[in-house]
Structure 1
Amino acid sequence: MRAEAFQAHRERLLAIATRVLGNRADAEDVVQEAWLRLARQEPGTVDNLAGWLTTVVGRLSIDVLRARTAKAEILYDTPPHEPVVSEDDPADQALQAESLGLALLVVLGALGPDERLSFVLHDLFAVPFAEIGPIIGKSADAAKMAASRARRKVHGAARPTSGLNQQREVVDAFLAAARDGDFEGLLAVLDPDLTWEVTSVRGVTVTRGRAELAHAAGRGGALGFTARRVLVDGQPGILAWGPAGQPVGLMACTIENGRMTRVVSLTDRAQLRRIDLQSAG
């Protein structure tokens, strides 16, 4: 009976933990630990099972986040959703993103533990701040302020300052410079303070500055790689293929004032195979 009751809440708990931690494996561990703690409870001691489980999963998740922060680890290592990649048809304006795309994972990963948990629980799962406060060990007002700070960061990143057509032009200029091996042309479209995040089989690396991406893009053409502009979660990005015709990289680009300011790259072949790339050609 207790196991059946837990299973009724499991998918929601797993969704919460995955959003907070950005890592399915860690989320599974947290939910499993929540079940073990429930199994150890004396019968009749849990009045509100949904609230009790949410609190336990929230506290376990924030413990994981705080441990990562103490160790200076990345707060996520796998996208919590599969990005939607499609042909970039300038005539179709309906695909402009309102959702959290690949590029916003950098922002989510940069949120503090209290901000991230408060934002996810309240904005995505409608948990009241009065319940969130005790989970993070603070007042309801403090939880509300943490969620508000997170919301400003996320929404700020969600609204690039360049129009969609200008973003396309910047991506096209980047691709042309990469094909020609034009290093100066690449630098011209990359912001000096560019953030470049790469998820590969080795994990996540983050590089500040534009030189490394410019060098990597310039080498791609010489190695026989081809690339084209696509839509990644409704925003212009880049899909690259190797000489054998297999997808080797997906880039989500944030463009502000005519330059790329943030690029999130996915080069892990296993993750790329899980993404539907058929509609992107």
Structure 2
Amino acid sequence: MTEDPYAAHRSLLFTVAYEMLGSATDAEDVLQESWLRWSAVDHSQVRDPRSYLVRVVTRQALNRLRTVSRRREDYVGEWLPEPLLTSPDVAEDVELAESVSIAMLTVLETLGPTERAVFVLREVFELPYGEIAEVIGKSAAAVRQIGRRARERVAARQPRVRVSRSEQQAVVERFLAALETGQLQELLAVMAPDVVLIADGGGVVAAALAPLHGSEPVAAVLARANRVAAFSTAAVWLNGAPAGRIELDGEASAVSLVVEDGLITRIYAVRNPQKLAWLDVPAELAR
């Protein structure tokens, strides 16, 4: 019996929706809506199921993105993407791992819905401009222009240097070891002077409402957390990269790092428990 195309391409479709939305929960809702539309179609009339399904999911994700964009404007504090537990295999596809990183998804939040759709479909999934034009209802020429603007905006905000997986892993391990001890000097030694800490508590748990700048203030906050709560750390793979899981008095946090020249330049700490449902079972990603 031939496998249903929706089931065969589900990992790809989830990845498209997740990169569009930065939320696994919203991505799952989009996939459910897309499956209902797929189940109502005469499959014998669909020449290229993969392309057709990507178009359906993208349209649904665009609709959802316009809705959640308004919701995020009222979010308490900084909004960060939902972290995903992933297997180390995801990192083997460097482009995929970079595209689903917390850093990249945070950058994509600065794009408008249409820009984000064009960037994801073209730069990550390499869809032809003509197909993207069908999805968003614009000409291929307009899509090219939108894509160029999106690339420029993303490039201006991306980390300057791409580090190897082994270097990322080594820095993550140093950082987690420093957190375990709570020693200021050890934390300072692993962070760049201009490091930025961005925390997402969503108004549900305690977290800084604005980014914290500078190694000394960031180290002081992290060292204090170690002293005031039952504290443990574990190295995990999040969004295709080595990262950390921290337990504070039994409450989990997911920590992703941006590393440049052997030092941490950005720390993304997701504390909102509503965003941590995907930390126990690895997500299936594909492109």
TM category, shorter = 0.5 to 0.7
Whether 2:217 is the aligned partner of 1:210: answer no
- Which has the higher mean CA deviation after the structures are superposed, 10-19 or 224-233? 224-233
Q: Summarize the alignment of residues 126-137 of structure 1 with structure 2, pairs less than 5 Å apart.
A: 126-137=126-137
TM-score (norm 1): 0.63
Q: Summarize the alignment of residues 75-224 of structure 1 with structure 2, pairs less than 5 Å apart.
A: 77-79=81-83, 81-83=84-86, 99-100=97-98, 101-151=101-151, 153=154, 157=158, 159-160=160-161, 172=174, 176=178, 179=181, 182=184, 186=188, 189=191, 194-198=196-200, 202=204, 207-210=210-213, 213-222=218-227, 223-224=229-230
Taking the aligned partners of 1:175 and 1:120, their CA distance within structure 2 comes to 36
Equivalent position of 1:265 in the other structure = 269
Say if 1:48 and 1:228 are closer, same or farther in 2 by CA, change over 3 A: closer
Taking the aligned partners of 1:39 and 1:237, their CA distance within structure 2 comes to 38
Over the aligned positions, Cα root-mean-square deviation in angstroms equals 5.0
The residue type equivalent to 1:225 in the other structure is F
Equivalent position of 1:274 in the other structure = 281
- Which has the higher mean CA deviation after the structures are superposed, 134-143 or 234-243? 234-243
Q: What is the deviation of 1:210?
A: 2.9
Q: What is the deviation of 1:226?
A: 4.9
Q: What is the deviation of 1:196?
A: 0.8
Q: What is the deviation of 1:60?
A: 1.7
**Number of matched residues?**
262
Residue ranges of structure 1 left out of the alignment (5+ in a row): 86-93, 277-281
Secondary structure of the structure 1 residue equivalent to 2:224:
helix
| 8 Å contact from structure 2 (residues 34, 57) kept in 1 | yes
TM-score (norm 2): 0.62
Secondary structure of the structure 2 residue equivalent to 1:110:
coil
| 8 Å contact from structure 1 (residues 119, 147) kept in 2 | yes
Question: Higher relative CO (CA 8 A, sep ≥ 6), structure 1 or 2?
Answer: 2
Q: What is the deviation of 1:117?
A: 1.4
Taking the aligned partners of 2:28 and 2:189, their CA distance within structure 1 comes to 42
Residue ranges of structure 2 left out of the alignment (5+ in a row): none
Secondary structure of the structure 2 residue equivalent to 1:273:
coil
Whether 2:231 is the aligned partner of 1:225: answer yes
Secondary structure of the structure 1 residue equivalent to 2:200:
strand
Q: Which has the larger radius of gyration?
A: 1
Q: What is the deviation of 1:132?
A: 0.6
Q: What is the deviation of 1:59?
A: 1.7
Say if 1:150 and 1:226 are closer, same or farther in 2 by CA, change over 3 A: same
Taking the aligned partners of 1:178 and 1:190, their CA distance within structure 2 comes to 19
Say if 1:255 and 1:129 are closer, same or farther in 2 by CA, change over 3 A: same
Say if 1:206 and 1:5 are closer, same or farther in 2 by CA, change over 3 A: farther
Q: Summarize the alignment of residues 23-62 of structure 1 with structure 2, pairs less than 5 Å apart.
A: 23-38=23-38, 46=45, 48=47, 50=49, 51-62=51-62
Percent identity between the aligned chains? 27
Taking the aligned partners of 1:122 and 1:261, their CA distance within structure 2 comes to 28
Secondary structure of the structure 2 residue equivalent to 1:251:
strand
Q: What is the deviation of 1:120?
A: 2.3
Q: What is the deviation of 1:77?
A: 4.2
Q: What is the deviation of 1:217?
A: 0.7
Q: What is the deviation of 1:227?
A: 5.0
CA deviation map 1:136-168 (0-9, x unaligned): 232223323433444452696354388987996
The residue type equivalent to 1:26 in the other structure is D
